Each structure stands twice: as structure tokens, then as C-alpha cells.
Amino acid sequence: MGHLIGIQAYSTGELQEILDQAQSFYRQLTQKPRQIPPALHGRTVVTWFMEPSTRTRASFELAARYLGAEVLSLATEGSSMVKGETLWDTLANLEAMGIDALVVRHAEAGVPWQLARRARVPVINAGDGWHEHPTQALLDLLTVRQALGDVSGLHVAIVGDILHSRVARSDIWGFTRMGATVTLVGPPQFVPSEWPAKGVRVSDELSEVLPSADVVILLRIQKERQALNGLFSVEEYRLRWGLTAERFRILKPGAVVLHPGPQNRGVEIDSDVMAQDSVLIGRQVTNGVAVRMAVLSRLMGEKTW
Ligand code: CP
């Protein structure tokens, strides 16, 4: 049995394999009428989100349903965790009910890993604190591969609060593993001065990085985590690190822009820029379903990953 806890653990070949499988699910998903074999018929997937989510939860649930599985959605509010029941006892109860996979999001890094150590079913990390968001990296890789072909040799700029971003961490591991070079751009307070991976550079000047980037991944300013710490105003952030209409004009021709969502319009990206064809936010969301279908079918099928 396998779990998906972080991208860091996976080889280029393994990532390539799951992206190929996700691409094939993407083709099935975008056909009308959809014809998807119900490979997970008779199985049950639990989504257990202890932090808010729109895209990740909805796409995992749709992915499971498209594959024919039953879905049970558990929320902390309304569960016996509010009476003090532990994560481990909750897991044991879900397993006793015969679940087949657990998708978990938690505000603390490491919770999916700790659950996986005790679980008898596959555990999938849907985002844990500042640690990783592995399916986000997979869907970002798939989106870039569809738009630009081979990821190897591309220059990827990841912009914003790198330090507090699980998306950044998973994207860095994923893109470098696939042979891209990565530049981390943002306020010095939010960008680690060194990164423990080859092919990663650091800059605090977005306008210097944009003309050479093939891919620009904008991160959300996480108001709920550090609220810019009073270091600068939202407007100051926008002027230095936001993708404004003026900055959009200096992008390399053919470059694409990604954002994991939710977007703070007028902060990390202007509304006018969001409407441009090279901004692939909608495709990322569609690919989220395809990638999660690939992950579920791999972990719940016969092959381990
Ligand atoms: N990208 C992402 O994780 O979005 P949600 O928080 O809405 O799931």
C-alpha cells in the first residue's frame, strides 16, 4: 500500500508516470458525454479537511465520484473531535467502518505523515501547514506540460510568500525534479536565502526575473497565516511583487502564468491580468480533477506508488 505525503519523495520517472495517467484522465474528463470506467466502484474515499478548501476538496470528491467510488466528507465541526476525540481514534473509527482511502488537510505540517504511519488505508496529503501540497504540484506540472511541452529546461519563477507556502515547497521539488530551474521571488523576509535543492535561485526583484521566466507561479498572500506581518501594506506588496498590467507586458513571449487560488485580486495579480489567455488558472482547476483521479486510482488500485 502507498501513501502520497510529499512530492519530495518521488523520482522523475514516478512523476512522469502519474502525469501521463492524469493526461489520459484529462482527455476522458473533457469528452462529452464523459466515458470514464468506474474503476473504484464499491470503494469509499473519505475527505477529511481540518482547514478550509474549495478546489482541493471539491476536485478530490469529483475525482472519486467520476471513478465510481462513494465519498464521505468529514468536517471537524460536527464531529466528535470537538468533544476531544483524537485524530488517531477518529482514524481508527473510520477504518472500522471500512473506508478505503483518506484524503486529509490539516493546519499542522506532518499530520498526514503521522496518520499514514498508523493507517491501514492509503493516506493522501491535501495540504499540511507550510509543508507540502503534493497534488497542487502535480496539477501545476500537468498544466505546464500541456502548455509548453517538456518541463525540463524551463525557467520557473515562484513569486510571493515562499516561506509560508506549502504550494511553493511542493512546486520547487516537483519542477526541479522534472529538470526545470526555479527562481524564488518575493520580499526578503518571505524568501529563504538558501534552498536545499539544486537549480534554485533567489531574487527580490520581480521585474528583473519576469523577462526570462517561461512559467510564473504567483502565490496567494496568506492573510490568515501572517498578514504581511506589518512589514508593508497590501498596496506596497502589489507595487513590488504583484503581476500588474505593466509587469504583464514585460513577460517573455509565450510565458504562462499560474496561481493555485484563491486569488487576492489587486494584490498578487490584477483582475485585468487574470483575464489574459496565458493565465492558466481555469486549466489548473480542471487538471486538479484529472490529477486527483490519477492519484486515487494509483493508490487504491493494484499498483502501489
Ligand atoms: N489550491 C488550493 O489548495 O485551493 P483550496 O484551498 O481552495 O483547496
The predicted-structure confidence for 25-76, as pLDDT tens digits, reads as follows 999 999 999 989 999 999 999 999 999 999 999 999 999 999 999 999 998 7
Residue 305 lies in a domain: no
DSSP-derived letter for residue 201 is: E
- Give 283 Cα–ligand 1 centroid separation in angstroms: 14
Residue 1 lies in a domain: no
| 80: pLDDT strictly greater than 60 | yes
Same-domain pairing of 246 and 292 = no
Distant-in-sequence, close-in-space partners of 181: CB < 8 Å, separation ≥ 6:
154, 155, 156, 199, 200, 201
Per-residue confidence band for 221, with pLDDT thresholds at 50, 70 and 90: confident
Q: Which percentage of the chain shows pLDDT scores above 90?
A: 84
Residue 208 one-letter amino acid? E
Q: Which domain holds residue 22?
A: 7-133+285-300
Q: Which percentage of the chain shows pLDDT scores above 70?
A: 95
- Give 32 Cα–ligand 1 centroid separation in angstroms: 26
Only one residue has cell 498526514, namely 112
Q: What pLDDT, on the 0 to 100 scale, is given for residue 77?
A: 81
Same-domain pairing of 69 and 20 = yes
Q: What pLDDT, on the 0 to 100 scale, is given for residue 1?
A: 65
Average pLDDT rounded to a whole number, residues 130-156: 98
| 116: pLDDT strictly greater than 90 | yes
Identify the CATH number of the domain in which residue 20 sits.
Answer: 3.40.50.1370
Cα(50)–Cα(4) distance, rounded to whole angstroms?
18
Residue 80 lies in a domain: yes
Atom of ligand 1 nearest to the CA of 54: 7
Only one residue has cell 476525540, namely 85
Same-domain pairing of 139 and 276 = yes
Same-domain pairing of 100 and 186 = no
Per-residue confidence band for 304, with pLDDT thresholds at 50, 70 and 90: very low
Same-domain pairing of 248 and 294 = no
Residue 158 lies in a domain: yes
Residue 270 lies in a domain: yes
- Give 262 Cα–ligand 1 centroid separation in angstroms: 7
First-to-last alpha carbon distance for the chain, in angstroms, is 8
Per-residue confidence band for 305, with pLDDT thresholds at 50, 70 and 90: very low
Q: What pLDDT, on the 0 to 100 scale, is given for residue 232?
A: 79
Same-domain pairing of 83 and 172 = no
Residue 136, marked binder = yes
- Give 85 Cα–ligand 1 centroid separation in angstroms: 26
What's the structural domain count of the chain?
A: 2
Same-domain pairing of 37 and 13 = yes
Q: What pLDDT, on the 0 to 100 scale, is given for residue 19?
A: 98
Contact call for residues 20 and 277 (beta carbons, < 8 A): no
Same-domain pairing of 110 and 160 = no
Q: Give me the helices (H) in the chain, please.
A: 12-29, 55-66, 87-96, 111-118, 134-148, 166-177, 206-209, 234-241, 245-248, 271-274, 281-300
Same-domain pairing of 263 and 140 = yes
Residue 65 lies in a domain: yes
Q: What pLDDT, on the 0 to 100 scale, is given for residue 302?
A: 53
Query: Minimum mean pLDDT among 51-60, 198-207, 210-219: which range?
Result: 198-207
Atom of ligand 1 nearest to the CA of 136: 1
Residue 2 lies in a domain: no
Cα(82)–Cα(183) distance, rounded to whole angstroms?
42
Residue 3, marked binder = no
Cα(175)–Cα(36) distance, rounded to whole angstroms?
29
| 197: pLDDT strictly greater than 50 | yes
Same-domain pairing of 45 and 167 = no
Same-domain pairing of 151 and 201 = yes
Residue 264 lies in a domain: yes
Same-domain pairing of 123 and 35 = yes
Biggest distance spanned by C-alpha atoms of the chain:
57
| 228: pLDDT strictly greater than 70 | no
Atom of ligand 1 nearest to the CA of 52: 6
